[in-house]
Amino acid sequence: MSTATVPRLSAVGRGALWLTSLAVAGVLLETAAFWHGVRRAYRFSAGARRFERRLSSQHARVLILGDSTGVGVGAAKPEDSIAGLLAADYPEADIVNVAVSGTRVAGAIAQVDECLAAGLRFDLVILCVGGNDVVADTPLPQLAADCDTLLRSLARVAARTVWLAPPDLALAPLFPRPYAWLLGLRSRAAAQVFAAAAARHEVVLVDFSAPSHLAYFRKQRRNHFAIDGFHPNSASYQYVYATARQMLGLQPHPG
């Protein structure tokens, strides 16, 4: 009776198996790190406090709405957010902030509807939305329709709107490759939808995925994001605010 021989891996086979094991382990570690980062970003958002300053007597009324960038998630303190920086430059402005972390364009429509229901009217709206639609991959036809509905609604609550559109999310350190490359494609496609909608409704759009801004954020990109690797930090909020103020032709309050 003959005994079956157990085949042995060659040196090449053992090496290939070892490399495959290392690759799988690397992917698993990267995936675990990514989801840990996602959970940290959610916790980061939950702990943020949006800046708002209500004045009974004011020269101007400003509404800030949209997502976590309207809240100011990632800023070292609320005063470093878009709303906080605006308040410092315009001490007599009444600033209403209804932004909520995680909001997509469709969700911002509900924020406007609440303002309309309350009979609120403003001189200026600062719209911070779009990034979550890129991450969630909102279908482009639906995104275009949502943008039209949102901007039509905003025209009923304010004389002027400036839309601070998101940067290319492929730059966010949170997202590993190749997912970051996919987000880059989505960011560019969504930017075209945002620009077309803004043009249709005569809204000032600041596209932070444009080449000039892209070059800025690419320089030492980790220095432009908060510790969660997703939200802007205080320096980035300062850059975004200064860019928007310049486009609107606003001058800080003297003194």
240, pLDDT greater than 70: yes
Check which CATH number belongs to the domain holding 121 and give it.
Answer: 3.40.50.1110
Q: Does 37 fall in a domain?
A: no
Residue 111: what residue type?
A: Q
Burial class of residue 178, CB neighbours in 10 A (0-12, 13-18, 19+): exposed
pTM, rounded to two decimals = 0.81
Q: Does 5 fall in a domain?
A: no
Q: Does 64 fall in a domain?
A: yes
Q: Does 254 fall in a domain?
A: no
Q: Does 34 fall in a domain?
A: no
**For the chain, what is the mean pLDDT?**
84
- Which two tokens mark 38? 């996602």
- Binning pLDDT at 50, 70 and 90, where does residue 178 land? confident
Name the residue range of residue 205's domain: 43-248
Q: Does 136 fall in a domain?
A: yes
How many CB atoms sit inside 10 A of residue 174's CB?
20
Q: In total, how many domains does the chain have?
A: 1
Each residue of 68-99: pLDDT tens digit? 999 999 999 999 999 999 999 999 999 999 99
How many CB atoms sit inside 10 A of residue 31's CB?
11
Q: What is the mean pLDDT of residues 109-114?
A: 96
- 196/25 Cα distance (integer angstroms): 44
